[in-house]
Structure 1
Amino acid sequence: MRSWTARHWLWATVAAVVIAAITGTVAGLIPNPVFTRMIEAPWWSYPVWLAAAVLSGLLVGTYAGPRTEQQRTRRGVVGTVLSFLAIGCPTCNKLVVLALGTNGALNWFGPVQPVLAIGSLALLGFALRARLRTTSACPSPVAA
C-alpha cells in the first residue's frame, strides 16, 4: 500500500474536524445556543460521533491524491448520513416526527438508532477499505 502524503493527512484531519463540528453541533452533542436536545444523548452517541468523523475524514483524505485516482463512492456518503441520524435526538428530527409522530420517534426510531450507528460505521469502514485498496492499486503518475 502506498503511503499517504502530508496533503492526504491534512485533508483527512480538516475533514474530520469539520464533520465532527457540524454533526456534533447540529445533533446537540456539542453544547450550543442554537441546537439543543430535548432528550439526553445516550452514552454510545459520543464514541459513534467521533468514530464516524474520523472514518469520514480518512475517506475524504483518500480523495486528496492526483486526479487520476478520483472515483466516486456512495457508501461513504450514506454512512455519514446514517451516523448523523444515529446520534441525533429522535424528537428533534423533523422528518422522523413528521413521519412517525412524537410517540413513534421515541418508541420506534429511538430504539433503532444503535442499529443505524453500527450500520453507519460498517459502511464507512467498508467504503474506506475499498478506497484504500483502489487508490493503492493505482500507479503514481510519472512526471514527464
Structure 2
Amino acid sequence: MSLNPRRVGKGLAVSAGAFVLFGVVTGLIPNDFYVRMVSRTPLDYLFLTLTAGLLGVYSVQRVPEGRGSDDGVAALGTVGGILAFGCPVCNAVLLAAFSSSALMTYFDPLRPVVGVVAVVVLGGLVYYRRSLACESCRPRPQSE
C-alpha cells in the first residue's frame, strides 16, 4: 500500500488538532481558560495521545464503495477517550447526573478501564477498516 503524502498530512493534522483541542478543554495542556480540578496522571496523557493518534488514522482511511459509515463507532470511542482522560469533576454532564463525591468515589477509579475500552474500540475500528480496504484491493477472480 502506498502512502499518499496528502492523506498522511491530513491524518497528522487531525491527530495534532485533536490532541491540542482535547488537551486544552480537559486541562491536560495547561492554559488560562480551564483549570483542571483533578491531578494529571501519565495515563491521562497516554489516553489523550492514543485517542488523538487513532482519530488521525481513522480520518484518512478509505472505505470501499457500498460499505456503511462507522462514524458512530468512532464517536463512541472518542467520547470514551474524553471521559477517560478528562477531569470527572469538571464534566458538566457527569456532574449534573451524579454528585462530585460519587464521581470521585465510583467513576474516577474506572477511568483507566474506560480509556482501555475506548482505545480498543478505536483501534479495532481502524483494524477493521484496514481489512475492508485490503479486501477491496485484492484482484477478483475472473469467471471463465
TM-score (norm 1): 0.87
Q: What is residue 78 of structure 1 aligned with on the other side? A: 76
Structure index of larger Rg: 2
Identity fraction in percent: 24
Q: What is residue 120 of structure 1 aligned with on the other side? A: 118
Q: Is the 8 A contact 1:51 1:121 kept in 2?
A: yes
Separation in structure 2 between the aligned mates of residue 47 and residue 40 of structure 1, nearest angstrom: 15
Q: Is the 8 A contact 1:69 1:135 kept in 2?
A: no
Q: What is residue 34 of structure 2 aligned with on the other side? A: 35
CA RMSD of aligned residues (A): 1.9
Unaligned residue ranges in structure 1 (runs of 5+): none
Structure 1 stretches of 4+ moved >6 Å:
none
Separation in structure 1 between the aligned mates of residue 68 and residue 53 of structure 2, nearest angstrom: 20
* Paired positions, count: 137
Unaligned residue ranges in structure 2 (runs of 5+): 139-144
Separation in structure 2 between the aligned mates of residue 46 and residue 76 of structure 1, nearest angstrom: 20
* Amino acid in structure 2 at the alignment position of 1:46: Y
Q: Deviation per CA, 1:97-135, whole angstroms, max 9, x where unpaired?
A: 111111111111111111110001000110000111112
Q: What is residue 94 of structure 2 aligned with on the other side? A: 96
